[in-house]
Amino acid sequence: MAKIVFLGTSGSTPTKSRNLPSVALEYEGSIYLFDCGEGTQRQIFKYSLNISKVEAIFISHIHGDHIIGIAGLVRTLALNRRQQPLYIFVPKGYESAASQLLSFDKAIIGFEIHIKPISSGTIYKNEDFEVRALRLVHSVPAFGFVFKEKDRVRFIKEKAAAAGLKGSMYSELLKNGHITVNGKKVALKDVTYVEPGLKVAYITDTRPVQSIAIAARGADLLIHEATFAASEAGLAKERKHSTSEEAALIAKKAKVKKLVLMHISARYRSTAKILKEAKAIFDNTYIAKDGMAITLERGS
């Protein structure tokens, strides 16, 4: 199970109801942040997340509205006497953008901070999941991220019982791929199925490109920027952002289960138009609000 909490959903500047971009993904007791706009630490407290559980921060690009919040967050962690390491991922070549945000407080930081360069491909993984990065098209080097839980092999109870599997036979079959039971060979594929792991794609500050649809294919959740309404398509192209319709087309091509739009320009007091435009193309679309939470479970 994974819980996604939208900490900030505005684009470029905050509004009364929207903080700057940041999304928290809570999984197995740890929190992974995607972008860290100014005020993110306060949003973490406001929406009842445990700041000490933040394990890694994935920064899409070095524009201030996506990265400045690191300074305050790290300072709070230090004052809370954090001990475990923190990993911060930034586009390759821009590591100093993160380190400079931390330099003024080095005296009180008593834990390791590992600033890691991002390039395309797998950038973080453990025994349960991996995070892959894909290059986006923005005014500075930018990356999107795909969280992918590992697939699991599940036994089909009826077929396993009919094959005579018992006790340690299950682990032996998983290890070897086949086993002989009562003189009959049983293959793993004959009594199991693969349960896909959860998949969440986070895509912000980009023009729509085919590689996004490929990377996000079949995702349980696609979080995609919709900085502008369709009527501002020219401005979106000029500033290398996406419109509501363009985000919805990506979701449709990728055949995702759910689309949530964020990074909404502060020019829009109402998001009704943006939502209507997107839903006309991809019906299962929602507009993110600060504090909005989505729980995802395998097979749901």
Residue 56 and residue 152: Cα distance in Å, rounded? 24
Answer whether residue 31 shows pLDDT above 80: yes
Local confidence band at 35 (pLDDT 50, 70, 90 cut-offs)? very high
Backbone region of residue 81 per phi and psi (left: phi > 0; alpha: psi in -120 to 50; beta: other values): left
Task: Count CB-CB contacts under 10 A for residue 80.
Answer: 10
Residue 226 and residue 205: Cα distance in Å, rounded? 9
Coil, strand, or helix at residue 224? strand
Local confidence band at 160 (pLDDT 50, 70, 90 cut-offs)? confident
Edge-to-edge strands, sheet with 2-8: 113-118, 86-91, 54-58, 30-34, 22-27, 2-8, 293-296
Q: Taking a C-beta distance cutoff of 8 angstroms, is the pair 227, 65 a contact?
A: no
Tell me the per-residue pLDDT of 165-181, one tens digit each, with 9 for 90 and over.
888 888 888 888 888 88
Local confidence band at 162 (pLDDT 50, 70, 90 cut-offs)? confident
Active site residues: 65
Residue with tokens 């969440």: 200
Q: So what's the pLDDT on residue 208?
A: 97
- Tell me the pTM: 0.93
CA 249 to chain centre: 19
Q: Taking a C-beta distance cutoff of 8 angstroms, is the pair 278, 245 a contact?
A: yes
**Closest residue by Cα to residue 133 from 151, 157, 117:** 117
The angle formed by the CA atoms of residues 142, 144 and 145, to the nearest 5 degrees, is 140
Answer whether residue 194 shows pLDDT above 90: no
When comparing pLDDT for 38 and 171, which is higher?
38
Q: So what's the pLDDT on residue 164?
A: 83
Distance between start and end Cα atoms, the chain? 10
- Domains along the chain with CATH numbers: 2-151+196-296 (3.60.15.10), 153-192 (no CATH)
Average pLDDT over residues 24-50: 97
Alpha-carbon separation of residue 278 from 7, 200, 274, 284 (angstroms): 22, 19, 6, 9
Residue 134 and residue 67: Cα distance in Å, rounded? 18
Residue 200 and residue 89: Cα distance in Å, rounded? 18
